[in-house]
Amino acid sequence: MPSTAQILDWLTIAKPYIIMGLVVAVWPLVSGYIVLMERKVMADMQVRLGPMRVGPHGLLQPIADALKLLIKEDIIPARVDKWVFWFAPVIPVLTALTAFAVLPFSQRYFVAELNVGVIFILAMTSIGVLGIMLGGWASNSSYPLLGALRSTAQLVSYEVAMGFAVVAAVMVAGSLDMVNIVKHQQASGVWFIFYQPIGFFIYLVAAMAETNRAPFDMPEAESELVAGFMTEYSGFRWALYFLAEYSNIFVVCSIATTLFFGGWLRPFPNVAWLNFLDWAPAVMLVGVGAGCLYLAGKQLSAANKIGMGVLGAAIIAVGLAFGVPMVIDYVSGPFWFLFKVAVMIYMFMWARFTFPRYRYDQLMQLGWKWMIPLGMANLLVTGVLILVKMQYWSAK
């Protein structure tokens, strides 16, 4: 019979692998729900309802979509490079998922704490470009080739601007370790966005371009290139590209949260009289659950009523569990991290449905002639300001 201490020991050793299993098992489903969220946000901004048929308020739509993609025919055109065509969609999924390994969901929950975490993520997202390039090249068709070329040029251009923005944030933090960066923000009591507003702006624009999101979605501009590098893909291979795209969005939003928004910290982590904010997760979840119960009453069919009711009850139960003082310590970190990432993802969607698409030459000009000089200037100004602060602030 193992003692409690032994079990705790095993849990500490197994923790990275448990989180790893959770990420790989749950993330595809979550990305499906991010797609649903995007469709709902789009519908809301265009004064429509969005998906409503599958399950109450379309809540089972992602599962239906995944099943449909799984049983869909996988057309491989006659002239493609078979092996490259088969393998290309695996690369972006592989790299995007591996980038999750260094994301600090909280002080306790991460797969690995690397002292070069930021560089590791940047490297992984850069390798993901290969999948897009190989896919477009192997298709041996005009639209995918053009899409892949555009995509690669765009990604590498904004990679530089993103690098400058991240370097400036690293200068403030003095560390490349994702966990330490958040701890520095806790120590200084200020989110780094207040030290690096311009850096954050550059990062945001570059991140939107890096993930091929509108208004920078030239690589898959429907009106010009059909679907860009994915044109010849169908069935589950196409779904893998889609999964990789949403994983990348999650990863860049997580980096933004970690570098600029204090990661897993609640707002004002050091202000004692705001400690009641620890209860915010419980209150928010109970509120959402109550909303579900209210909507359950308005459902027409009995099945939808029961489904929505059970969902609402489950969310309220989780919310109440989050209110237990012993549990708060363990769940508030991941809650705030995921909440901030969700807000960032919402901003990405907001931008997509607000701004018209750029023209390709404008996109490259913006990247090379505005973002890169701005990034370099930001770097120098940050350096001077840090030195000035060190000289005169700490001397007093």
Partner 1 sequence: MAHEYIPIFIFLAVAGAFPIVTLIAAKLVRPESPFKEKLLPYECGIDPVSDARGRYTVRFYIVAILFVLFDVETVFLFPWAVRFRQLGMFGLAEMVVFLALLIVGYIWVWKKGALEWI
Span 221-250, contacts to partner 1 by CB under 8 A: 226, 231-232, 235-237, 240
11 belongs to the binding site for partner 1 (CB under 8 A): no
Residue with tokens 């044109």: 231
Q: What are the structure tokens assigned to 87, written together?
A: 């393998």
Q: Which parts of 324-383 interact with partner 1 (CB under 8 A)? A: 360-361, 364-365, 368-369, 372-373, 376, 379-380, 383
175 belongs to the binding site for partner 1 (CB under 8 A): yes
**Gap between the Cα atoms of 154 and 210, Å rounded:** 7
**Gap between the Cα atoms of 121 and 250, Å rounded:** 12
As measured in angstroms, the least distance from the Cβ of 44 to partner 1 is: 31
Q: How many CB atoms lie within 10 A of CB 272?
A: 6
Residue with tokens 């000009």: 365
84 belongs to the binding site for partner 1 (CB under 8 A): no
As measured in angstroms, the least distance from the Cβ of 240 to partner 1 is: 5
Residue among 367, 374, 378 nearest 156 (CA) = 367
As measured in angstroms, the least distance from the Cβ of 73 to partner 1 is: 5
As measured in angstroms, the least distance from the Cβ of 180 to partner 1 is: 10
Options 50, 163, 215, 334; binder of partner 1; rule CB under 8 A: 163
Q: Which parts of 123-162 interact with partner 1 (CB under 8 A)? A: 137, 139-146, 149, 152-153, 156-157, 159-160
Q: Is 381 left (phi over 0), alpha (psi -120 to 50) or beta?
A: alpha
DSSP letters along 160-201, please? Answer: HHHHHHHHHHHHHHT---HHHHHHHHHHHTS-GGGT-HHHHH
As measured in angstroms, the least distance from the Cβ of 95 to partner 1 is: 8
Options 174, 189, 197, 291; binder of partner 1; rule CB under 8 A: 174
252 belongs to the binding site for partner 1 (CB under 8 A): no
24 belongs to the binding site for partner 1 (CB under 8 A): yes
Question: What does residue 266 show for φ and ψ, rounded to 5 degrees?
Answer: -75, 160
Longest dimension (CA), the chain: 74
Options 74, 270, 306, 314; binder of partner 1; rule CB under 8 A: 74
Binding mask 27-46 for partner 1 (x = CB under 8 A): -x------------------
Q: What are the structure tokens assigned to 302, written together?
A: 């009995």
Options 63, 127, 167, 313; binder of partner 1; rule CB under 8 A: 167
Options 71, 300, 326, 395; binder of partner 1; rule CB under 8 A: 71
Q: Which parts of 176-205 interact with partner 1 (CB under 8 A)? A: 176
Q: What are the structure tokens assigned to 140, written together?
A: 């041996």
Question: Which stretches of 47-116 are DSSP H helices?
Answer: 61-70, 82-87, 90-99
**Gap between the Cα atoms of 8 and 177, Å rounded:** 26
Three-state DSSP class for residue 211: coil
73 belongs to the binding site for partner 1 (CB under 8 A): yes
Segment contacting partner 1 by CB under 8 A, of 99-107, 207-215, 278-286, 293-301: 99-107
63 belongs to the binding site for partner 1 (CB under 8 A): no
Residues 6 or more apart whose CB falls under 8 angstroms from that of 292 comprise 308, 309, 311, 312, 315
**Gap between the Cα atoms of 134 and 351, Å rounded:** 29
Compare residues 197 and 383 and give the one whose CB is closer to partner 1: 383
Contacts with partner 1 by CB under 8 A: the residue count is 82
Compare residues 97 and 193 and give the one whose CB is closer to partner 1: 97
